[in-house]
Amino acid sequence: MKIAIVTQARMGATRLPGKVMIDLCGKPMLWHFIERLKKIRNADEIIVATTKNPKDDVIVRAAISWDVKVSQGSEEDVLARYYFTAKEHKVDVIVRITSDDPLIDPKVVDKIIKYYINSEGKMDYVSNNLVLSYPLGLDTEVFSFSVLEKAWREAKEPYQREHVTPYIYEHPEIFRLANVKNSEDLSYLRWTVDEEKDLKFVREVYKRLYKEDEVFLMQDVLNLLKKEPQLLEINKEIRHKKLGE
C-alpha cells in the first residue's frame, strides 16, 4: 500500500499571490512546509500537485530541486488535479495537506494516518477537521484512491471540484467517515497563511522558534503563545473563507 502526501500549490492565490514562494527565514515558505512533511513517518512520498500555468513553473523547478515529486494539472478543477496526480504516481492512499500551512505538525499528521491504517479498511476518510479542534493550519485528510476516484466522477458543484473533499464528507451515507479530535479545543487559533497578517504571524513564530535542521511542533507554538499572547492579536480578525467563496 503506497501512501503519499499530495499537496496543492500554485502562484495564483487570490488574496496573497505567490505566497508559497514568499521568503520565510531566508527560504521560500514552500521549502519550510516540505521540510516539515519530510518528517512524517507514515507516508512513503511527497508529491506537489501544481498547475499547467506557466506561472507555476517556478514551483515545478523548486520541487524537483528539493527532491520531491511533482505533477501538473488543472488550475481550477483541483479535484481532477488530485485524481490524475494520484493516478500518475500509482498512489493507494492520499494524505491531503495544503501548502499554505507552514506550521503543519508532522506528529499530528502521523496520528491521523495511523488512525486510518489501524481502521483496517473500516473507514473511507479520516481527518481532523470534520469537528474542529486543532488550530486552523494543521488540517489533514486521509482517503483511498478509490474514494478519490468516486468523488472525481460524481462531484458536480464547482466548490466540490475546487476544494477536493467536500463531496466525500458531505455524503456520510456513501462514505465511512472518522474524525480525530485533539484533547483540547484549539480551533480558535489561526495558523494558516491566506493574507498579509497571517504571513506576519507565521514570520514572528518562525523568528522565535525556527532552527536549522530542526522542526518545532504544535506544542512549541502553544508554549510560545502562552509566553507572548500578543502574537495572537496579529491575525485574529481575519475571517476564514467559507466553501464556495
Contact assessment for residue 125 and residue 141, using Cβ atoms and an 8 Å cutoff = yes
pLDDT of residue 120: 87
List pLDDT tens digits, range 60-114.
999 999 999 999 999 999 999 999 999 999 999 999 999 999 999 999 999 999 9
114 exposed, middle or buried (CB, 10 Å; 0-12, 13-18, 19+)?
Answer: middle
Nearest to 6 by CA among 66, 69, 75, 59: 69
pLDDT of residue 241: 65
Percent pLDDT > 70 in the chain is 98
List pLDDT tens digits, range 148-173.
999 999 999 999 999 999 999 999 99
- Measure the CA–CA gap between 185 and 46, rounded to whole angstroms: 29
Q: Residue 66: CB partners within 8 Å, gap ≥ 6?
A: 31, 34
pLDDT of residue 45: 98
- Measure the CA–CA gap between 13 and 19, rounded to whole angstroms: 7
Domains detected in the chain: 3-187 (3.90.550.10)
Cell readout for 147 is 474514494
- Measure the CA–CA gap between 242 and 22, rounded to whole angstroms: 24
- Measure the CA–CA gap between 239 and 245, rounded to whole angstroms: 12
Contact assessment for residue 108 and residue 128, using Cβ atoms and an 8 Å cutoff = yes
pLDDT of residue 13: 82
Whole-structure pTM value: 0.96
pLDDT of residue 14: 81
